Amino acid sequence: MTETGASRRPLVVLDGVDKHFGALHVLKHVDLSVGEGEVVVVIGPSGSGKSTLCRTINRLETIDAGTITLDGRPLPSEGKEPGPAARRRRHGVPVVQPVRAQDRARQRDARADPGARHLEGRRRGARPRACSNGSASTSRRASTPRRLSGGQQQRVAIARALAMDPKVMLFDEPTSALDPEMINEVLDTMTSLARSGMTMVVVTHEMGFARRAADRVVFMADGEIVEQAEPETFFTAPRSDRAKDFLSKILSH
C-alpha cells in the first residue's frame, strides 16, 4: 500500500497560503504538506490555481498570507533577497516548465531551412556548451538544448535540475508544449525519478502519469484544494461534485 503524506516526514508545508492577483483570489487559504519522497500530482480545471501553487513553492510568486516551509525552514519574505533567481538558487527548488513554443518554432525553422539553421547557429554563438545530461548520448551531449527535440530538452531540464541536488522538484505541466510522440519519453523519465524516491510536486493533465506514479492526487478548483486521495481512490471514487464533473469531462475524451 502506498504511504500517504501524513506518515512521511514533512518536507514542503503550506499553511494557510493566500494569493491574489489584484482582485482575483487565486489561492484561498491553502494547506498542503508534501512528505519526503512523496509524489504529489496536482490536477484541476483551467484557472484553478495549480500553476500559481507550484510557483509559490519556489518563490516565483510571492504570497499574501500564510507560510511555506521547506524542510522546516520558512521561505523568505519578499524583498529580503536580491531576486527570484537568487531565491531559487538558495532554496534549491527547481521547477521544470513547458518547453517554450518559440524555441520549438525556431527548431522547426532551422531544420527546414539551411539559412535559418545558419542564423540559428550564429544566435547560439560560436561554441556549443556541453550539457551534463547523464541520459543523453555522447553526440547529443555536444548539442545545445535548442538543437534537441522538445522531449530531449525537457530531459535535459530535468537532468540540470537534478544537478542542483534538490530536496524537492516541481513540474508545472512539463509535457504541455510537446508533440504527442515526445510526451511519453518525458513521462517515462519522470516516472523513473518518482520511483527513485525524489520528492515531486507535479502539475499535469496526464492522468496516466498520475495513476502510475503519484502517491497522492490533489484536486484543486477555484483556488482551493477540494479533495485529495491516493490515485486509485480518487479516480474510481471521487467524493466532491467538482471532481466528479472534472473527471467525467477529461476521462470521456
The residues binding ligand ATP (CB under 6 A) are 21, 24, 26, 44, 46-52
What is the closest distance, in whole angstroms, from the C-beta atom of residue 171 to ligand ATP in the complex? 12
In the bound state with ligand ATP, the residue whose beta carbon lies nearer, of 156 and 171, is 171
Residue 247: its H or E element: helix 241-251
What is the closest distance, in whole angstroms, from the C-beta atom of residue 202 to ligand ATP in the complex? 12
In this structure, are residues 74 and 235 in contact, taking their beta carbons and an 8 Å threshold?
no
In the bound state with ligand ATP, the residue whose beta carbon lies nearer, of 21 and 101, is 21
In this structure, are residues 59 and 87 in contact, taking their beta carbons and an 8 Å threshold?
yes
Distances (CA, A) of 253 to 211, 246, 249, 250: 17, 12, 7, 6
What is the closest distance, in whole angstroms, from the C-beta atom of residue 42 to ligand ATP in the complex? 8
CA atoms of 158 and 171, how far apart (whole Å): 9
* Three-state secondary-structure class, residue 230: coil
What is the closest distance, in whole angstroms, from the C-beta atom of residue 163 to ligand ATP in the complex? 27
In the bound state with ligand ATP, the residue whose beta carbon lies nearer, of 107 and 204, is 204
In the bound state with ligand ATP, the residue whose beta carbon lies nearer, of 47 and 121, is 47
In the bound state with ligand ATP, the residue whose beta carbon lies nearer, of 24 and 164, is 24
Number of H helices, E strands in the chain: 10, 10
In this structure, are residues 186 and 151 in contact, taking their beta carbons and an 8 Å threshold?
yes
What is the closest distance, in whole angstroms, from the C-beta atom of residue 195 to ligand ATP in the complex? 26
What is the closest distance, in whole angstroms, from the C-beta atom of residue 133 to ligand ATP in the complex? 27
Please give the torsion angle defined by the CA atoms of residues 233, 238, 239 and 245, in that order, rounded to the nearest 10 degrees: 170
In the bound state with ligand ATP, the residue whose beta carbon lies nearer, of 94 and 223, is 223
**What DSSP character marks residue 234?**
H
Alpha helices in 32-137 (DSSP H): 50-57, 84-91, 101-112, 114-124
